Amino acid sequence: MLEFRPDAAFSNPSRSVILIKGGFNLAFECTAPTPMILMCHVRPERQERFVRAETFTLYPDVPHSFFIDGFGNKCTRLVAPPGKLSIWNRFVIADSGLPEQLPYNAWQQDVADLPEETLPFLLGSRYCDTQLLMQQAWSLFGHLPEGWPRLQAILDYVHDRIRFDYRNARNDRTASQAHAEQTGVCRDYAHLAIAFCRCMNIPARYCSGYLGDIGVPLDPAPMDFSAWFEAYLGGAWWTLDARHNQPRTGRILMARGRDAADTALSTAFGNAALAEFSVITELEHSS
């Protein structure tokens, strides 16, 4: 099993940590009993950092169960009743308080030497249509040194190529379409960066979760869930974000997968209209 890069602050007891309060309010309106799968929990391996565990509440309190999917994400399975189903979650989690590290000196392994667990993240997927971007990728990045220089060039290019605009959000936009349209939201930055990485033989996987305005100017837009990605260099997975293109503090991982299709917040097998949506990610206090 591949280990995620350890957080230096948590291995140093003298280092102060910060506490982050997170959660959400969701509601769906259904016209008939509707089976649903929710992927709205903090990743299981991050739950050891809880100061107050998740308080997951359904109203009405319908029967539900939890399971772990093939990517290690915690999922909730239920049947939403006709009418309105409200879903709330709250937790407090400890964070190192440090900005994320970048793989400045990490090398790029030959494909033949990569661990088997990374190989699925070299392949094209629903939203990361590598076959349509392969020639473009090698033209843009093929002349650069392997490893961090090539990965940094991908981040910079995607950051500059796409203009962030909530009004242009689309849930069916692929990486190649984001490249052509030059607009989108955080998932589009992630999909394009992932697709380019895979074209250049760098394993990359999609991530979703919480990202509050900690250590950066307050964003006036309403809080939302965020998307970023992880790339495999130097024998470890590294957290990267082409939208912001700078290390951030306080990122809380919910789900990983090949792309957004594997990490959907909700999947309804029927008609379930979103009736309420709000996200909370804020600094509670320091210790």
pLDDT tens digits along 232-246 = 999 999 999 999 999
pLDDT reported for residue 179: 98
pLDDT reported for residue 219: 86
Q: Where are the alpha helices (DSSP H) in the chain?
A: 130-141, 148-161, 175-181, 186-199
pLDDT reported for residue 220: 86
Q: How confident is the model at residue 3 (pLDDT cuts 50, 70, 90)?
A: very low
pLDDT reported for residue 285: 62
Q: Residue 25: pLDDT above 60? A: yes
Q: Residue 70: pLDDT above 80? A: yes
User: Domain residue spans in the chain?
Assistant: 8-97+266-286, 111-262
83-95 β-sheet, strand order: 50-59, 83-95, 18-30, 272-286
CB atoms within 10 A of CB 48: 9
Q: Looking up tokens 């490893």, which residue turns up?
A: 147
Q: Residue 14: pLDDT above 50? A: no
The more confidently predicted of residues 63 and 7 is 63
CA distance 142 to 133: 13
CA distance 26 to 45: 24
> Among the listed ranges 30-44, 187-201, 211-225, 269-283, which one has the minimum average pLDDT value?
211-225
Of the chain, the percentage scoring pLDDT greater than 90 comes to: 89
pTM of this structure = 0.93
The more confidently predicted of residues 134 and 2 is 134
Question: What architecture is domain 111-262?
Answer: Roll (3.10)
pLDDT reported for residue 15: 55
Average of pLDDT values for 24-51? 97
pLDDT reported for residue 284: 87
Could you tell me the CA-to-CA distances from 81 to 27, 57, 274 in Å, in that order?
Answer: 12, 15, 14
- Amino acid identity of residue 182, one-letter, is Q
Under CATH, which number does the domain 8-97+266-286 receive?
Answer: 2.60.40.2250
Output b/e per residue, 152-185; b: 16+ Cβ within 10 A. bbbbebbbebbebeeebeeeebbbbbbbeeebbb
* Residues making up the chain, counted from first to last: 287
Average model confidence (pLDDT) across the chain: 93
Q: Contact, 91 vs 41, CB < 8 A?
A: no
Per residue in 204-258, pLDDT tens? 999 999 999 999 998 888 889 999 999 999 999 999 999 999 999 999 999 999 9
Of the chain, the percentage scoring pLDDT greater than 70 comes to: 93
